[in-house]
Every structure is written in C-alpha cells, then in structure tokens.
C-alpha cells in the first residue's frame, strides 16, 4: 500500500480498503458522498477535515466500532489491522 493510488481507496476515518472503490474519487478531490461500509462516515462530509476525521473515528471506536453495513464485514476482520491502513496525514 505504498503508492498514492492505493491511498485513495482507503477510508480516512477507519482505514477500510477497497479494491475498486474511491471514497474521494480517483483524483482524491471528488468525494462520492457515499457512506463507508465500515465506519459509516459520509465521504466528503464527515471526513472533510482532519478534525472531522479524528472525531468521527473516536466516536465510532468508542461506540464499539460497529460496521455500518455488516454484510461487508469479513470473517477475520480486525479493527487493529484496519486502522494501520489509515494514511499518516489522517491519523
Ligand atoms: Zn470508514
């Protein structure tokens, strides 16, 4: 996960990585206003500022890190592992 393209496939709040998904568009500047399957943030709204990203993440983890769309949750999902995906600048 070292190139910039891959970074665009990661939810800034929870670190969810998706092969074919770009929360903020392929240019990283065109939010989709979709909701993250995992933390439920609305891309382009709840994650528009670093402050927003951090407070959403905090609230989400404090409330048990529940999946917004549990059907996408993988069997051996690990919150800790997923959080490692979050790009440096959004931690
Ligand atoms: Zn998320």
Residues 85 and 2: their CA atoms lie apart, in Å, by 10
Confidence of residue 8 (pLDDT cuts 50, 70, 90): very high
Tell the burial category of 60 from Cβ atoms under 10 Å away from its Cβ (0-12, 13-18, 19+): buried
Confidence of residue 4 (pLDDT cuts 50, 70, 90): low
56 CA to middle of ligand 1, Å?
9
Confidence of residue 18 (pLDDT cuts 50, 70, 90): confident
Task: Kindly tell me if the per-residue pLDDT of 7 is higher than 80.
Answer: yes
pTM for this entry: 0.91
Give the DSSP H/E element, type plus range, for residue 82. helix 79-83
Confidence of residue 19 (pLDDT cuts 50, 70, 90): confident
38 CA to middle of ligand 1, Å?
5
Residues 74 and 91: their CA atoms lie apart, in Å, by 24
Ion ligand 1 neighbours (CB, 5 A) are 11, 13-14, 16, 36, 38-39
């Amino acid at each position: 996960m070292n190139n910039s393209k891959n970074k665009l496939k990661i939810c800034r709040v929870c670190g969810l990585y998706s092969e074919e998904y770009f929360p903020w568009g392929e240019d990283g500047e065109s939010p989709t206003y979709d909701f993250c399957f995992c933390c439920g943030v609305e891309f382009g709204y709840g994650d528009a500022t670093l402050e927003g990203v951090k407070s959403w993440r905090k609230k989400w983890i404090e409330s048990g890190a529940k999946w917004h769309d549990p059907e996408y949750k993988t069997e051996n999902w690990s919150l800790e592992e997923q959080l490692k995906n979050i790009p440096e600048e959004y931690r």
